[in-house]
Amino acid sequence: MRHTLIKCLALFLCVLSYAQTTNLSGIVQDETGLPIPGANIIIKGTNNGTTTDFDGNFTLKAEIGATISISYIGYVTKQIVITESKNLTITLEEDVSQLDEVVVVGYGTQKVTKVSGAISTVKSESIDQLKPVRVEEALQGTASGVSVIQGGSPGSSPTVLVRGIPSFSGTDPVVIIDGVPQTLADLNSINSTDILSLNVLKDAASTAIYGVKGGNGVIVVTTKSGRNSEKVEISLNTYTGVQSVFKKLGVLNATEYAAIINEGSLVSGGDLIFNDISSLGEGTNWQDEIFKDALVTSHTISARGGSEKLGYFLSSGYLSQGGIVGGSDKSNFNRFNFTANLNLQLTDKIKFILNSSYANIKSQTVAENSFNSILGSAINFDPTVSVYNNDPNDFATYGYSNLLLSEIFNPVQQLDNTYNESNGDKLYGKFEIQYDVLDNLKLTSRFGYTKWDEVGKSFNPLMYYGPNNVSSQYTSDGEVKDGEHNSVTEYTNSTFSYTFEAFASYNLNINEIHNFDVVLGTARSKSTGYGFGATRQDVRDNAWEWADISAATGVNTDENTDAYTGYSYQNLERRNMSFFGRLNYDYQDKYLASFSARRDGSIAFGDDNKWANFYAGSLGWVVSNEDFFNSEIIDYLKIRGSYGTSGNENVDPQYVSITIGGPSYNATANSNGYTFGSTFVSGATVDSFSNPTLAWEVQTQYNFGFDAKLFNNTVSINADYFNKSVDGLLFTDATPLYAGTSLPVDSNIGSTESKGFDITLGYNNNFSDNFSFNTSFTFTTSKNLVTSTNSDGTAFVTGGSYFNGQSQDVTRFEQGFSPGYFYGYVTDGLFQNQAEIDVHATQTGANPGDIRFVDVNGDGTITDLDRTKIGDPFPDFTLGWNLGMNYKNFDFTAFTYASVGNDIFRAYERNAQYTNKFRTILNRWTGEGSTNNPNTPRYTFEDSNSNIRASDRYVEDGSFVKIKSVILGYTLPQDSNNFFSKVRIYTQAKNLFTFTEYSGLDPEISGGILDTGVDRGAYPQARTFLIGLDLKF
């Protein structure tokens, strides 16, 4: 019996193993049930196999019991033992570990596993979810190593820094859209739903192939392209929402204002300003008058698919964003996009790619970020004034102050009389030919271009601010004052740039062990631009409706030469010529090496330095691929290191210029001309030096990092340490006095250093079919230092200027300090009595209740020399935290961004005698012992101590945590609708909460390196609630 059983079993096995071949058939589909064409099906241990057809179907001769392997890029390879020949339905899961994911690098793509440089990636899913108005928003907190400081004005450019602050200007990373170099500003015209991926190349090994343009990092944008041999997929995305301000500043109401004005006057020995404050009440809260809810709306539709020879991605979008300062009527950003990305397989070997995008951008703006902007006026204007004039005997339309007689006006009046519009057209894209000379040799030639044309108009109407206001253009009886005119300005700007590149890509595999990947190429590029404008006075009816050059009537006369004026300009035509190459090598996916080089020629460089060479190399070791590596916890581990150089061509060409004319207003006042008798005669002289050795700034960067995946690929870690130094930083050297007053030239004399960590931590787990969870953290830090400027360190650049009665420059770029640091006096409480003043260093004008400034240099007197570093506008580190969950058909995403250690300089306080004051003044010093807080000195009109000088009194910690985005979505079950393949509705909140100690409106204040963190009444970001719908069919 027992033998029989064994025999039977043996026979059964024999039958199985010698079983008949069967005609296997089936369909391969993805998780949503869509067929996957082109999937590979191979019988293990043989060379037999097939691929699926257009509808995902396949047939294959196989033996029962054989194992087939089904694979497709981006999906987990599946293995199935054939048990019967019935129709199989094979569902491939998307590869969550994404080990086979590719990143787009300079002039090619690379498998993530083979990358040995430092690259951050933002995937289309997170862009799709976030729905940013500008693409940079999607990088904030999601791409480690990238600092993004956003502004609040609709469509405004954020500050974007990749790995620290190398310079005081020209720090924008280069943007490559589908291989074509563009600028950061060009990201305003791209529709976020068109984007497939964003890669940020951070280390020298990745950026050196962009040479002289790569020094500030490279943002590689890849847009969606056609999919050959696929049915059309149409996507429709729409959302609409309401934006509103989430915080207002605490200013005094009318009664409090009048009381404090009276006090200020009395303390200075003056009279009461308001004799009866009891009737004033609350007065006008100007912030309530100018902050308005504004709509944001977006619709996009796209079609993607293709036949065997033609792939297409077509998309059209409309976005309209209103501004919360002034509302949609006065502040807005509107964009239409049309994109056609086509690829045509002309022959077996030749492919033609045509990407064309058109964007139309219309916008209107309000004055911002200054004490007399709309918002600045709303903060500082007299609260006792009514919005509109109530006196029928006064012809004024708006209320006006009889105390504030210049600079700051009724903000509602300012807003109503703000008239401007700009309308720009951008056309960009590429023509590309790819020629597969051999299976492993491809030639690519492409022509990428960007054309931008903008026309704009603005109108300055005649205004009346009351009888005593210096800016009133009418007399009190309504007559236009002599010499006053309204005016209309029209302008046009145009830029064009192209890049023409040709390169060959060759890969070679020796014995399946040695993999070589070679790119060699050349590029030339050009950018140019020009503009015209005209201004004409005397617009009919003082009305925007008539505001046009053709309708205005101003004519120049001897008395008035400004009635009709014009200008034109021509941008420097920048041209570059480059050669580049890269060699990637790996040994069995274990040992990775890469070397790249670029040679750049630029018209910007001096005659003696026309060409620059940049080299970089990187090494990687995939430890987890070693035989000895055996870890239960670590599934994947790669260690990387790189070193190399890249550059920055932030210079203008050099030549010895001649200036002809009279007195000069340039920095050295190199005046011309002379008087003979009493007649002025124009002269000519040499105006500039020329530095023929002027060259590029060289960035040298090294990078160490590792990538790891742990716990069954559920946890991922990417961490990098970088150290980059800039040599030859362009700085204006001190010129010997004996060389005279020609304009000094820049020399490559400065240097900076930045170092820091970029870390990304991810956790991703599909707990069940119904529930998946993912979360990720990014951590970005950089420490920046200006290591030298000129030879003795005496040269520095100042910025961050603001006005609070005196013009103040509050930021500096100076040797030995972090770039753009805040510079001013250090406070040490308040003088409580005369005795304290007497024992302190001599501080002219100090009285009890005034701020005690620190005698930093110890010379016994408080002078300019006591100013020092009082803050740093750039954060110590930033954190992004993304949380995603899917439960059944619900999806939830929350994104939180934190910036820690960024200081803000509060520059919106105008501090004139009669401007409104901030609520902190209610805690002011009123007598000995009342307070010692330097932010609340005594209040006096006179301010003989200059308590308003730039000091740490105005510096606040601007650290913040913002819940940037919270999304809750619901996808309709698939079987409930036959027509749509996907229906998702969602609701999103942007800037839901901001946690900060900062007393101003919004702690995120963008600007250039020397303007970041200087809050002159910056446009705050809006809190937005929106609902949206995503459809696919």
Partner 1 sequence: MKNIKYIGLILILTSFVGCSEVIEFDPHDEYAVTEADYLQTQEDYETMAVSCYTPMQWLNQLYVIADIASDNAVAGGENASDVISLQHLDDLSQLVPNNSTLSDLYLSAYEGINRTNYLLSYKDQNLQGETITWSSKEAMYGEVYFLRAYYYFALVKMFGNTVLFTDKKLGVSDFGTLQRSPKEEVYTQIETDLLDAISALPTTQDQEGRITKYAAQALLGKVYIYQEKFDEAIPVLNEVVNGPFTLVDTFDDIFLLEGENGLESVLEVQYSNGQPYYNWGGQTRGQGNYAVQQCGIRSLSAESSEMPYNSGWSTNLPTQDLALAYEDGDQRKDATCFDIEAYIAANPTWGITYQEAPYNNTGLYNKKYLPRAGQTSGQVELNYENNHRIIRYAEVLLLAAEANLRGSGSATDAQTYLDMVRDRAFGDTNHRVTATVDVIWNERRLELAMEGDRFFDLVRTGQAAGVIDNFVTGKHEVFPIPQDEIDISGIEQNPGY
Q: Does 679 bind partner 1 (CB under 8 A)?
A: yes
Among positions 671, 713, 886, 911, the unique one binding partner 1 when judged by CB under 8 A: 671
User: What's the CA angle centered on 865, arms 859 and 870, to 5 degrees?
Assistant: 115
Q: Does 520 bind partner 1 (CB under 8 A)?
A: no
Closer CB to partner 1, 98 or 345, in the complex:
345
> What is the CA 934 to chain-centroid distance, rounded?
36
Q: Taking CB under 8 A as the criterion, which residues in 337-376 touch partner 1?
A: 346-347, 349-350
The token duo for 329 is 């009527």
Q: How far is the CB of 96 from partner 1 (least distance, A)?
A: 39
Q: How far is the CB of 844 from partner 1 (least distance, A)?
A: 10
Q: Does 667 bind partner 1 (CB under 8 A)?
A: yes
Q: Does 741 bind partner 1 (CB under 8 A)?
A: yes
Q: Does 738 bind partner 1 (CB under 8 A)?
A: yes
Closest alpha carbon to 101 in 122, 74, 119, 121: 74
Q: Does 445 bind partner 1 (CB under 8 A)?
A: yes
d(C-alpha 130, C-alpha 973), whole Å: 23
Closer CB to partner 1, 363 or 742, in the complex:
742
- Which of 21-29, 489-497, 682-690, 881-889 is the region at the interface with partner 1 (rule: CB under 8 A)? 682-690
Q: Does 81 bind partner 1 (CB under 8 A)?
A: no
Closer CB to partner 1, 685 or 886, in the complex:
685
Strands (E), 156-283: 159-162, 174-177, 180-182, 195-201, 218-223, 230-244
Q: Does 673 bind partner 1 (CB under 8 A)?
A: yes
- Which of 228-236, 306-314, 674-682, 1022-1030 is the region at the interface with partner 1 (rule: CB under 8 A)? 674-682
User: What's the CA angle centered on 877, arms 871 and 882, to 5 degrees?
Assistant: 140
Q: Does 677 bind partner 1 (CB under 8 A)?
A: yes
Among positions 435, 530, 763, 803, the unique one binding partner 1 when judged by CB under 8 A: 435
Q: How far is the CB of 428 from partner 1 (least distance, A)?
A: 20
- Which of 16-24, 98-106, 244-252, 731-739 is the region at the interface with partner 1 (rule: CB under 8 A)? 731-739
Q: How far is the CB of 664 from partner 1 (least distance, A)?
A: 7
Among positions 85, 297, 664, 911, the unique one binding partner 1 when judged by CB under 8 A: 664
- Which of 26-34, 192-200, 678-686, 779-787 is the region at the interface with partner 1 (rule: CB under 8 A)? 678-686
Q: How far is the CB of 738 from partner 1 (least distance, A)?
A: 5
Among positions 59, 423, 672, 857, the unique one binding partner 1 when judged by CB under 8 A: 672
Query: CB burial class (10 A; 0-12, 13-18, 19+) of residue 78?
Result: middle
Closer CB to partner 1, 663 or 927, in the complex:
663
> By CB under 8 A, how many residues form the interface with partner 1?
76
Q: How far is the CB of 69 from partner 1 (least distance, A)?
A: 37
d(C-alpha 195, C-alpha 129), whole Å: 12
DSSP state of 157: P
Query: CB burial class (10 A; 0-12, 13-18, 19+) of residue 179?
Result: buried
Closer CB to partner 1, 464 or 498, in the complex:
498
Kindly write out the interface string for residues 580-609 of this chain, putting x where it contacts partner 1 by CB under 8 A and - elsewhere.
---------------------xxxxx----
- The residue type at 117: G
- Which of 122-130, 581-589, 683-691, 964-972 is the region at the interface with partner 1 (rule: CB under 8 A)? 683-691
Residues 6+ apart with CB under 8 A from 266: 272
Strands (E), 34-167: 40-43, 49-51, 57-63, 67-71, 78-81, 88-91, 102-105, 108-111, 119-123, 146-149, 159-162
Among positions 12, 567, 629, 680, the unique one binding partner 1 when judged by CB under 8 A: 680
Q: Does 995 bind partner 1 (CB under 8 A)?
A: no
Q: Is 939 in contact with 264 (CB distance < 8 Å)?
A: yes
Among positions 678, 768, 976, 978, the unique one binding partner 1 when judged by CB under 8 A: 678
Kindly write out the interface string for residues 641-660 of this chain, putting x where it contacts partner 1 by CB under 8 A and - elsewhere.
------------x-xxxxxx
Q: How far is the CB of 748 from partner 1 (least distance, A)?
A: 12
For residue 547, give Cα distances in angstroms to 25, 463, 535. Answer: 73, 15, 11
d(C-alpha 329, C-alpha 154), whole Å: 12
Q: Does 674 bind partner 1 (CB under 8 A)?
A: yes
Q: Taking CB under 8 A as the criterion, which residues in 544-573 touch partner 1?
A: 570, 572-573
Q: How far is the CB of 34 from partner 1 (least distance, A)?
A: 34
Q: How far is the CB of 216 from partner 1 (least distance, A)?
A: 21
For residue 997, give Cα distances in angstroms to 62, 902, 903, 1003. Answer: 70, 12, 11, 9
Q: Taking CB under 8 A as the criterion, which residues in 742-761 touch partner 1?
A: 742, 745, 747
User: What is the full DSSP assignment across 801-818?
Assistant: -EESSSEE--EEE-TTS-
For residue 843, give Cα distances in angstroms to 830, 848, 862, 925, 946. Answer: 12, 12, 5, 18, 10
Q: Taking CB under 8 A as the criterion, which residues in 684-703 touch partner 1?
A: 684-686, 689-693
Closer CB to partner 1, 508 or 684, in the complex:
684
For residue 795, give Cα distances in angstroms to 7, 220, 666. Answer: 96, 36, 18
Closer CB to partner 1, 560 or 977, in the complex:
560
Q: How far is the CB of 18 from partner 1 (least distance, A)?
A: 50
Q: Which long-range contacts (CB under 8 A, 24 or more apart) does 277-281 make?
A: 280/254, 280/255, 280/384, 281/253, 281/254, 281/255
Closer CB to partner 1, 436 or 942, in the complex:
436
- The residue type at 201: L
Strand partners, 533: 491, 567
> What is the CA 220 to chain-centroid distance, rounded?
14
Q: How far is the CB of 649 from partner 1 (least distance, A)?
A: 11
d(C-alpha 347, C-alpha 362), whole Å: 42
Q: Is 501 in contact with 179 (CB distance < 8 Å)?
A: yes
- Which of 259-267, 522-530, 695-703, 832-840 is the region at the interface with partner 1 (rule: CB under 8 A)? 522-530
d(C-alpha 59, C-alpha 1031), whole Å: 33
d(C-alpha 586, C-alpha 510), whole Å: 11
Q: How far is the CB of 760 from partner 1 (least distance, A)?
A: 38
Q: How far is the CB of 791 from partner 1 (least distance, A)?
A: 9
For residue 409, give Cα distances in angstroms to 248, 282, 914. Answer: 19, 19, 12
Q: Does 443 bind partner 1 (CB under 8 A)?
A: yes
Closer CB to partner 1, 285 or 664, in the complex:
664
Q: Does 675 bind partner 1 (CB under 8 A)?
A: yes
Q: How far is the CB of 745 from partner 1 (least distance, A)?
A: 6
Q: Does 796 bind partner 1 (CB under 8 A)?
A: no
Closer CB to partner 1, 582 or 640, in the complex:
582
Q: Taking CB under 8 A as the criterion, which residues in 456-515 touch partner 1?
A: 500-502, 504
Q: How far is the CB of 490 from partner 1 (least distance, A)?
A: 23
Closer CB to partner 1, 443 or 961, in the complex:
443
Do the strands 771-781 and 877-887 form a parallel or antiparallel pair, or are they unpaired?
antiparallel
Strand partners, 201: 119, 218
Closer CB to partner 1, 84 or 864, in the complex:
864
Do the strands 67-71 and 40-43 form a parallel or antiparallel pair, or are they unpaired?
antiparallel
Among positions 628, 665, 767, 979, the unique one binding partner 1 when judged by CB under 8 A: 665
